[in-house]
């Protein structure tokens, strides 16, 4: 049963670490908006690592769209 003397500090440390992690994330404002991130994730794939050339294509397609008046 002496294992308990080791397990309890570990458990408390882990628990404490998660509490601290949560507090930090709240302070950073991650919980201010709970609605948008759910939508944001829909578009996250592929777009995140836009290379320079992709950026240019993106820009171009948007500009063209604007010129065509659509």
* Binding residues for other proteins (CB under 8 A): 1, 4, 8, 12, 15-16, 18-19, 22-23, 26-27, 29, 31-33, 35-36, 39-40, 42-43, 46-47, 50, 55, 58-59, 61-62, 65-66, 69-70
| Shortest separation between residue 44's beta carbon and other proteins, angstroms | 9
Four-residue CA torsion sign, 18, 21, 27, 31: negative
CA-to-CA distance for 62 and 54, rounded, in angstroms? 12
| Shortest separation between residue 37's beta carbon and other proteins, angstroms | 9
- Taking every pair of C-alpha atoms in the chain, what is the biggest distance, in angstroms? 76
């Amino acid at each position: 049963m002496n294992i308990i003397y080791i397990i309890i500090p570990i458990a408390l440390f882990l628990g404490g670490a998660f509490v601290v992690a949560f507090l930090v994330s709240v302070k950073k404002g991650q919980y201010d908006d709970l609605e948008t991130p759910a939508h944001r994730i829909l578009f996250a794939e592929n777009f995140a690592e836009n290379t320079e050339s992709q950026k240019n294509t993106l820009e171009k397609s948007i500009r063209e769209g604007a010129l065509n008046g659509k």
